[in-house]
Amino acid sequence: MQNRTLFIFSALLLVICACICGCTGTVGTNTTPVPTAAVTETPAAATATPTATATAAAATNATGNGITIVDDTGTSVYVPAGVERIVSLAPSITELYFAMTDDNSTTKLVGRTSYDNYPEEALLVDSIGGMTTGASIESIISKDPDLIMSTTMVDMNMINQLRANGYPVLVFEIDKLEDIFENIRVMGKVLNEEKNAESLITKINGEISEIEARPHETPLPKTMYAVAADPMYVAGSETYLDELITLAGGINCYSDMSGYGIVTTESIIERQPEVIIVIKGPMDSGLNMREQILNNKELANVPAVKTGRIYTVDDDIVSRPGPRVGQALEILYSCISENAQ
């Protein structure tokens, strides 16, 4: 029972970031949309006065012209000009940071979570602990950051404490492909990497277009993407993974369910998925989800089980809404459209 509880918790973590990547919300309910990040130029005189506990870094870097950004929580965040020291509180943000910076960049990533394992350079950055647990205010502040970047999956109590101490914290949504593009644009602005940001967007769009143009199976195979097997926890509509399934040539069996949710064996039998995709990565607790499904006698007549079209994918690549969208689509295309002519 303890292992099962840990597995479910890990899957829920995956669903929102690393997704998983990165999707949140209560099962069976719709998530209220949040404003798209808006950027405006702000003179230094508009800088909010830090609280008494603010460190010198947060207080003194607000010189020159900065920018005010309304992030994806609807919060107006003033980012001073010339930020240098960055802390990332999510693997997807860390990947985006390295994808748009180079040797000429004026910023440095000085803190990341223990889940941030790509690219290899990320492992050289000090860890401040876990994504939703393990990280502490003290470990983040010890990095003396000029800017902290996070996602909506991170504990908002911690975010609010950091803000109360004078630190600018940008919080990003990572539920959709468009979120990735918008996050790249905003990060490009605050990191002074706008040219690299636009190049990255162009690269990702090119990779998407190339895979979209490939042949697909006819009819499009009914596809189920599971991030946990006991209980079965799957991706529905209004999710990053739903978009990837469609782009890779599949039809999401659970497109009528918003977000992520637990589904029953009876529901899977009723929907008859022809392709089932499961995860393999650090967040699946080492359990073999493919074997769990294959060994479930009740699912023996499900098409994907009968034909063996149950694929295990690296969730770090596929489920994490970051710069590796092209790689994720390549993997899903090989699963969903393997019989395309």
> For the segment 209-240, what is each residue's pLDDT rounded down to a tens digit?
999 999 999 999 999 999 988 789 999 999 99
* CA distances (Å), origin 117, targets 121, 200, 227, 320: 9, 20, 19, 12
* Superfamily covering domain 2-27+215-336: Nitrogenase molybdenum iron protein domain (3.40.50.1980)
The pLDDT-based confidence of 16 (bands split at 50, 70, 90) is very low
The pLDDT-based confidence of 52 (bands split at 50, 70, 90) is very low
Model confidence at 326: pLDDT above 90? yes
Structural contact between residues 24 and 240, judged by C-beta atoms closer than 8 angstroms = no
Structural contact between residues 109 and 88, judged by C-beta atoms closer than 8 angstroms = yes
Residue 149 has a pLDDT of 98
Model confidence at 41: pLDDT above 50? no
Average pLDDT, the chain: 83
The pLDDT tens digits of the residues spanning 270-296 come to 999 999 999 985 454 556 899 999 999
The contacts of residue 87 (CB under 8 Å, 6+ apart) are 109, 110, 111, 112, 128, 140, 143, 145, 147, 148, 149
The pLDDT tens digits of the residues spanning 114-153 come to 999 999 999 999 999 876 555 789 999 999 999 999 999 8
Token representation of residue 156: 């908002």
Residue 47 has a pLDDT of 32
For the ranges 169-173, 228-232, 257-261, the lowest mean pLDDT is seen at: 228-232
Planar angle of CA 283, 288, 292, nearest 5 degrees: 125
The pLDDT-based confidence of 252 (bands split at 50, 70, 90) is very high
The pLDDT tens digits of the residues spanning 90-118 come to 999 999 999 999 999 999 999 999 999 99
Token representation of residue 314: 């690296």
Residue 281 has a pLDDT of 52
Q: Is 238 left (phi over 0), alpha (psi -120 to 50) or beta?
A: left
* Superfamily covering domain 38-71+73-172: Nitrogenase molybdenum iron protein domain (3.40.50.1980)
**Which of 179, 176, 175, 145 minimizes the C-alpha distance to 162?**
145
Residue 38 class from Cβ within 10 Å (0-12 exposed, 13-18 middle, 19+ buried)? exposed
Helix (H) or strand (E) holding 12, with range, is: helix 2-15
Planar angle of CA 325, 155, 200, nearest 5 degrees: 20
User: Which sign, positive or negative, has the C-alpha torsion 321, 326, 330, 333?
Assistant: positive
Domain segments of the chain: what residues? 2-27+215-336, 38-71+73-172
Rounded distance between C-alpha atoms, residue 341 and residue 143, angstroms: 53
Instruction: Tell me the DSSP string of 68-92.
Output: EEE-TTS-EEEE-TT--EEEE-SHH
Rounded distance between C-alpha atoms, residue 313 and residue 327, angstroms: 11
Rounded distance between C-alpha atoms, residue 93 and residue 109, angstroms: 11
Structural contact between residues 223 and 244, judged by C-beta atoms closer than 8 angstroms = no
The contacts of residue 142 (CB under 8 Å, 6+ apart) are none
Rounded distance between C-alpha atoms, residue 276 and residue 222, angstroms: 9
